[in-house]
Amino acid sequence: MILEAKEDDEIKEMIVLKSGGRNDRDGISRFPGGDFNDGGKALLLPPSNFAMVDNGIYRSGFPGTMNIGFLETLNLRSVVYLCPEPYPDDMAAYMNSVGIRIFQFGIDGSKRPLVTIPNGSIMGALRVLLDIRNHPVLVHCKRGKHRTGSLIGCFRKLQNWCLTAVFEEYVRFAGTKARISDLSFIESFDVSCMTECVLGIIYRYHGGCGSQARRLSYGDLS
């Protein structure tokens, strides 16, 4: 089921709500698209460019059915999908079967010079990352390089990383395909716009978004 989220301040979000509970965890993938070894155990093959960003936040290239065994070890609640194309049926079926929500923010992956990253899409995706109710969450685009790298770069600015470190991380994943336009977007992204988001204020207040920061749960607010 695909629901059009509200448009507010040029933030355009497509949210795919996946219902259903998780299967019992016994180390065996129950999804027919998963790969298995001779012992019946799911093979733990991570998606391309996979890495941990922070506690409860991961990044990668597009996961496929061969990665399902590995994804199950992450106990994901959500996926932030940064491509405009519909999610593949086989992986959408898997996400649905285990109750993972897919938040889609369609960003054009073209490298044409006049194509820019929508600021509203990045802000919307950051809101998902800042909300601990969505954790653990996986961020991905097609190859986990440009769109994912741009989003994570903006997230690092929220964590008060210096630009040199932010750019080094971007290049580490993008390699020789690094784009000046992405780096310029990251540099110009104004993190102060996120202070208007209550979630961002909470996240920054408790340790500046660092890996050792305490996440304030919504239960703490009541």
Catalytic residues: 141
Is residue 219 helix, strand or coil?
helix
Dist. CA 208–CA 221, nearest whole Å: 18
Dist. CA 213–CA 144, nearest whole Å: 26
Dist. CA 71–CA 85, nearest whole Å: 21
- The backbone region for 10, taken as left when phi is positive above 0, alpha when psi lies in -120 to 50, beta otherwise, is left
CB 220 within 8 Å of CB 203: no
Is residue 208 helix, strand or coil?
coil
> What are 147's two structure tokens?
């769109």
| CB proximity list for 24: less than 8 A, separation 6 or greater | none
